[in-house]
Chain A
């Protein structure tokens, strides 16, 4: 009995001891916890400053502020375009959606031309010339002749076997024969704007110049002869549909045309064409058999090869933005870039806006 009792006492003794350790621990926790909480509160009150959760912003490829100055129809559905602050973009669905490319410049790019899906060059302000050999995955800036006065390059065009011609301020005419790796200056510097250039056959090139001037070379650009047309305004673009038949357009709705390989130029007065706003680019639409030109304030014009029919229009009722270049698509529409990017169906005159 007594043994049993002792055992019980011992057992209860140990359990009491265990209890008291547990109780002590609980008591310790209970007495520390309130002060811990009080301390935490004080600390939080003095030091904790929450920060705001920020929504991520994904910028559109073409912003409202982007001006797209140059456009190149690379191949089939592929277009490339350039704009301000070194912007180069590419579309593989006829301009509906675009992707940004990375370039090494912040200069405003004015024009781009492509030989094929891989080789392209772009030119722009400060005489910057960029080239790519891999469809725009990497763009590199290359050396080119520069003037001490002003260096804005305005247009560039490419021809087979790696040939390219670029023109710009201070009478700058540049030629490259190696896909834009090296550039040669083809005329003495002069205070005249060269606004566009076109090669029409193996030897002949034309340049749209300032104040009604057209330059022509028949020896692959070695020498240049200028012609003063009846237009008082500066020209901005030149295009030929055959070596004989070409059109030059310019500011104030100027249109001059030749049917005889540049021997004579006919000036179409704004009253005849109905176009008084600046025209910035012109090209021949094989599909609809007309000349197409775009320009400032949302204006565009289509006119016949024999210069008898003119149709001046607005892109739309509200899109009165300025456009600098167009690219004719084989299916009877053209893509136009400038303050906005869109596509015009030439026959129905329906304007589809792709980007503001």
Chain B
């Protein structure tokens, strides 16, 4: 059937080519318009309970788009006029940034942070320096003391050494444009940063702004990678077609995939550029295989340099390579599809993109390449005389053959076993979530991470998680399914919140926690003449109600909203994290659950719910990744095995092709674990797509061995022929791609550099196992699906002739 299809394509090659050109032209039009941007909601697993809590409360209790400025005095503390003026100017400058939520500005120069004082009417609250700056030194001293006395400000917003203060602002998510926020925020920083103060800036919009900032550089790197790729192909293949065709098939695939994505309304996340590289690498790889085989077919025909030879060679190539090619593409696509079980929209969209992309390789490489090759004139002429085939490639492939032919093959298998075990052990330690403090997307010495480190040394942390307490609205259910009965001002609930906060703060990465329960003791103390022995919650619900009322009356409307909702049915406990490391977040979440478990009666009343804020969102993503990790690997392998079993009608085939895949992935995971690269939302696409992509090389080599053996060659002859043809394709692709991928090491985005390294490593392992390990295993175990015993028997006596060595 495959043969008929190949013949059909070749017979109607003009029509086929015409169709491809037309479709490509149409899709190019769409691909051109694809949105390149990061949509933060896409990174959230919408069905996860944390995300539901987050979405419900993010507007009041703090979303994921909070940006944080730190104003640090260069000399002395912040309580000096020039510094205070900077703080004021920065706070007012925030209004110039688009899409900010002006009710969520926290600054000592803002309206939200206040001093609470006793007065004749009970208590009153006063902003520290809003709207006017203090005028005299005495005013400044007074403000300084007021701040030092407030645990809600001194610590969380003014650093313990008094040299720095934080200014935070949230955005309206639906209006937010990362790039604009990035530009405007940095413009504000540039405007104010001078000899008096040092301003640091962090936050998700800024982070993704940086990714966008590097987009031109990313494009440049793609260009350089493509350039290197072309030069290398030209040098090695020595023909223009050998250079252009692989690039062409890569380009056609990319255009089709991006065009279809655009039609489906999927945008292109700059962070998945490396994934695109990965898939393009596959397209190129298939194309190079075609090319290599074509040349081999051409070389078989002596002396002719006519058009007809090209056509028949191309037909033969296509006919023979259709099976391994399509099988490779099908397993790639199948394994990628598995990733779609993840509830993270980014990954689901990525799957659509990747499956289409991988699928188009079937057309761009497996059909278009041979079709175009069929028109080649003078197929035996070369563009330059430097013959690397003679100098490097063939000697190297001879080594491969020798390894199989000699006892070294046992050494190779043994070595692979050791690598397998060692990397298996290492891979177990793979971190889920970020492995290091700071953003793993950027280099540690990048401005963003330097700023982030500065802030985290001065403050309990810039990243927040909130837990929601309460919920007495109509029909609200607690986690036991019972009706929620507690009210926030219940003394048990408030008390429980404080105990919960104390419990959570024991974890050293949680710098501080804040809730409405923190406010009431100081109100109580103020009402009790400032006697510190009364710095405690009210003893009854009524008393707490009064305290809350007092606080509200002293505050501006909306001041309480960072702690509770308008009707005081829900309250938040906000925790400040000093890093986003996976283990930090896991520990925090586990501790919240532990507290709930240890206090069932409290939970019945208070209904603690996880979790919102940036840390809550990351926690949900990490949980999804963690629980999906084994799942996706296992299912991808399952699909791979089943496909091989079906195509080769042998269960052993499934096992056999699992080896290079598992090996490549284990080594990659081990490398990630060793280099402290965590499995997070950014790395998971690469890791997940990598699962299925390791098998192509081996498929080509084994299929060729089988083909030659069926034609009557001996075991070793078949292996040697395969290594010199399919193996050459593997070697050339791997070589060219590894060098091109190396370009990413120079990326300003650490994430891209690391992913480049991972892909390089994965290519290396796949290629090495296809060239050394798999032929060795094939020769040692002689599986029937490769060496079919039913063929007409030929003696193995020729084996010695192949290598000049006696078979072992």
Contact = CB atoms under 8 A, between A and B. Distances in A.
Interface of A: 30-31, 33-35, 37-38, 41-42, 44-46, 48-55, 57-60, 63-67, 69, 84-85, 108, 110, 125-126, 154, 234, 236, 251, 278, 280, 296-298, 318, 320, 322-324, 338-339
Interface string B188-232: 000000000000000000000000000000000000000000000
Interface string B529-541: 1111101100100
Contacts of A297: 145, 148-149
Contact of B652 (A34, A60, A67, A234): A34
B635 A296 contact: no
Contact of A45 (B506, B512, B530, B635): B635
Contact of B530 (A52, A60, A296): A296
B183 interface: no
B532 A324 contact: yes
Interface in B48-89: none
Which of A31, A65, A280, A322 has the largest number of chain B CB atoms within 10 A? A65
A38 B652 CA distance: 11
B148 A49 contact: no
A175 to B, nearest CB: 22
A34 B654 contact: yes
B652 A50 contact: no
A338 B149 CA distance: 13
A60 B506 contact: yes
B485 interface: no
A44 B532 contact: no
Contacts of A64: 505, 512
B587 A57 contact: yes
B530 A318 contact: no
A42 B638 contact: yes
B645 interface: yes
Contacts of B627: 49-50
B322 interface: no
Given A57-B507, A85-B499, A154-B533, A44 B630 contact: yes
Contacts of A296: 530, 532
Contact of B505 (A33, A58, A65, A154): A65
Given A42-B638, A50-B626, A37 B655 contact: yes
Contacts of B413: none
B502 interface: yes
A44 B505 CA distance: 37
25 contacts: A30-B652, A33-B655, A35-B651, A38-B651, A42-B634, A45-B631, A45-B632, A46-B631, A49-B631, A50-B626, A51-B626, A52-B432, A53-B583, A54-B591, A63-B505, A64-B512, A65-B498, A69-B532, A108-B536, A110-B533, A125-B539, A154-B533, A296-B530, A322-B532, A322-B535
A236 B531 contact: yes
A54 B535 contact: no
A34 B655 contact: yes
A41 B506 contact: no
B10 interface: no
Q: Which of A51, A154, A322 has the most CB of B within 10 A?
A: A322
Interface in B148-175: 148-149, 154, 160-162
Contact of B645 (A34, A59, A324): A34
B641 A38 contact: yes
Nearest to A38: B641
Residue of A41, A323, A338 contacting most chain B CB atoms (<10 Å): A41
B641 A41 contact: yes
Contacts of A66: 502
Contacts of B658: 37
Nearest to B623: A52
Interface of B: 145, 148-149, 154, 160-162, 432, 498-499, 501-502, 505-508, 512, 529-533, 535-536, 539, 583, 586-587, 590-591, 626-627, 629-632, 634-635, 637-638, 641-642, 645, 651-652, 654-655, 658
Contact of A52 (B145, B148, B590): B590
B506 A59 contact: yes
A54 to B, nearest CB: 4
Contacts of A65: 498, 501-502, 505
Contacts of A30: 652
Contacts of B655: 33-34, 37
Nearest to B628: A49
Given A41-B638, A67-B535, A108-B536, A320 B148 contact: yes
Nearest to A56: B587
Contacts of A320: 145, 148-149, 154
B563 to A, nearest CB: 17
Contacts of A51: 626
Contact of A44 (B160, B535, B634): B634
Contacts of A52: 432, 583, 586, 590, 626
B654 A84 contact: no
B654 A38 contact: yes
A233 to B, nearest CB: 8
A50 B590 contact: no
Given A37-B658, A42-B635, 4 more contacts: A44-B631, A54-B590, A64-B505, A67-B535
A124 B219 CA distance: 69
Nearest to A54: B590
A243 B286 CA distance: 102
Given A41-B641, A57-B587, A280-B532, A34 B502 contact: no
Contact of A318 (B161, B533, B632): B161
A307 to B, nearest CB: 25
A322 B526 CA distance: 13
A67 B498 CA distance: 13
A55 B587 contact: yes
**Which interface residue of A33, A42, A54, A126 has the most chain B CB atoms within 10 A?**
A54
A323 to B, nearest CB: 8
Contacts of B630: 44-45, 48-50
B144 to A, nearest CB: 9
Contacts of B154: 320
A196 to B, nearest CB: 11
Given A34-B654, A55-B587, A251 B160 contact: no
Nearest to A124: B533
Which of B508, B642, B651, B658 is most buried by chain A, counting CB atoms within 10 A of its CB? B651
A253 B777 CA distance: 89
The 7 closest A-B pairs by CB, nearest first: A45-B634, A34-B651, A45-B635, A322-B532, A59-B506, A44-B634, A52-B586
B591 A57 contact: yes
Contacts of A44: 630-631, 634
A59 B502 CA distance: 10
A84 B536 contact: yes
Nearest to A48: B630
A59 B499 CA distance: 13
B641 A278 contact: no
A339 B637 CA distance: 58
Contacts of A35: 651
Contacts of A31: 651
Given A34-B652, A49-B627, A63 B502 contact: yes
Contacts of A110: 533
A98 B498 CA distance: 22
Contact of B642 (A38, A53, A55): A38
A349 B163 CA distance: 24
A234 B148 contact: no
A34 B631 CA distance: 19
B198 to A, nearest CB: 20
B576 to A, nearest CB: 12
Nearest to A59: B506
B148 to A, nearest CB: 4
Given A50-B630, A85-B499, A278-B531, A41 B652 contact: no
Contacts of A67: 532, 535
Contact of B533 (A38, A63, A126, A324): A324
B125 to A, nearest CB: 18
Contacts of A41: 634-635, 637-638, 641
